[in-house]
Structure 1
C-alpha cells in the first residue's frame, strides 16, 4: 500500500512558536518531548533506536528520510526510542536491496508518530537561535490552546532522570565466556554497537542495570569497567556516580562514553550543565590534545562537563576538545587507568576515526593485568 501524508499537523514549541506539516502515513497522533536536531546524512534507523534520544522529538536535517528503508539488524536497542519524528520529505518507497521493510512499517511497529512536509531548515535555524526546548507534534491543529496547556505540564530535560527508563531490568551476558577479558558494563542507555566493539576485541561482558551497586559489579571479578551512554540529565544519577567513585578507588580500568563520561566527571567533583542546543550529528570535529590530530566524530548529547573545573582539577586532564565551541570532549585521570569521551567511537554507520579508544581501553586492561602479575 502506498501512503500519502495528508492530515495537517503542527509543531508547537514551548515558547508558542508554531511550524506546520503533515502526518506521515495519514495517521492521527500527538507526541511530546524536547525538540532537537541531528545533522547526519545517513543512519536514521540507528538514530531512532539510540537510547540516548529517549524523550526527544527528532528533527532530521537531511531532506530525505526513509529512502533506503529499514534493516532489522541495524538497530542500537530493542525498538524506537525517540518520542517523535519531524522531517522534510518522508519516503514511503525504498530502493535498498537488503532492507527488510519500509521505514513506515518499522516506525509503525513502535507506534511512533511522525510528521513530514515541515520546513526543517527554518525549524533547525530557530532551535539554533533559541535553544532546545519542549515541544509537541500533533494533528490536533485546531486545539492549540489545549496543546499549550498539556505541553506546559511536560517536565524539562534539565534535572530529568531517564536512564531508568531505558536500562536493562536484569543483568545479561554478551560475547564468548572463554574470551580473554571480562568487562562489567553499567547500562544507563547502552548502544548495541558499543557491545559489538568490545566483543570483537576479546571481551566477555556482563551488562548490569543502571542502579546496580558496585559490590555486585565487583563480585563478577571483571578486568575492567564500562559506563555507557544514555539519556537525560546526569546530575540525578547518584547511584551511577557513586559506582564510578568506587571503581576509581578500586583502581581497575574504567572507560565511559557520553553520559558515562559525564558520570565520571561528576564522580571527580566536576559539575555538568545543559547546553544551548547540544551536539547531534556524525560530522563533529574534535581535536585530540594528546596527539594533535583531528577527528570527525558522531555525537549525541545535550549536556556537557565544566571545562574550567576540569582544567583546574589536580587529578584530571582534558584530552579532547570540540573544535566548534571548545567544549570538553574527553578526559583522563592522572596516574589512573580511567578515561572518557563525550562522543561515540562506536559510531554506526560512521565515522570511525575514534575507534582507537576501544583499543586504548584494552591496552589499559592489559597493562593493569601485567602489573598485578608482577606484584
Structure 2
C-alpha cells in the first residue's frame, strides 16, 4: 500500500504500551485530518473575501452565531466601517453580508473544533496515563502551537482593517499558512513515530533520501511562495502557461526598489517565483521516484515515494488549471487542499526512508 500506516512489528508488540502508542497515533492523525480541512476552508474564505466579515476576536462568545436581528445588524454595521466594504462591497446589503459571514464563522468554528479535539484528547490520554514515555513535552508543545495559531489568525485578520486595505497583509497570511503547515507536519510526524518507531532503510536508500529531502524543502518553499501569490492576488494576472506575458522571464521582475521587495510585493515576481519553485519541486520529486525505482526494493518505502510523485504531479496540474482559468473558487480551494496532501505524502516518504538503527555485532 502507498501509505503504510500499519504498526511496526517490534519486540513487545501486543503490550499495553504498544496499544497506547497506536491509540495516540490514530488520535493525532484524526486531528491532522481536521487541520487539513481547516486549510481548505481557509482557502475558500480567502478566495471569497470572507475573512474580514467578523471584526471581533471573541474566542468564547464568538462560538455561537448571531441569534437576533439586532446582533446581525450590529455586526453588519461594524463591517461597514472598514475599507473592504467601502471599496468592494458597498451596498450589498444584509444578505450579501450573511453570505461572507457564514464562511468566516465556519472557519473560526472549525478552529475551535480542532482545539477541542486536541485539548480533550490530550487530557483524556494524560489522565489515564496512556501517553507513551517521552512524548508529553512534544504533545504539550503542539497544544501551545495551536493556541499561537489562533492568535496569529487574529493578527492576520486585523491587518485587513487598516486604511485603504481590502485584504489581509500578505506577510501575515504567509505566517498563518506556514504555522498551519508546521502544526500539520508535527502531528503527522509524531503519529508516524508512534506507529513505526524504528527506521528500516538500508545504506542503498541514502541517495533516495537525500534527493527526497531536496524535493521536500523545495515543496515547502513553493507552498510558502504560494501564500504570497494568494496574499497579493497574483494568480489573477499573467494567466498563461508556461509563458508569462509571452516570455519565459517577463520584464519587470526587479521593478521595485529595494530589490528584495519584489519577492513579496511585485505581482509579476511573486507569481514567477511560485512557478519556478513548483517546477523545481516537481523535477526533484520525479528524480526521487526514479532513484527509488532503481535503488529501493518493492515495498512500503518505494510505494511512498511513488505516491509523493503522483501527488506532486496532480498538484502541478491543478496549479496550471487554476492559473489559466483565473482562479475560480473551486479550483483554488482544491489546489490549496492538495498542497497539504503533497505535504502528507512527503512526510510519509521521508519517515519510511529513515535509516535502520545500527545493531550490535553478535558475540561469537
TM-score, length of structure 1 as denominator length = 0.29
Structure ID, larger Rg: 2
More strand by share: 1
More helix by share: 2
TM-score, length of structure 2 as denominator length = 0.29
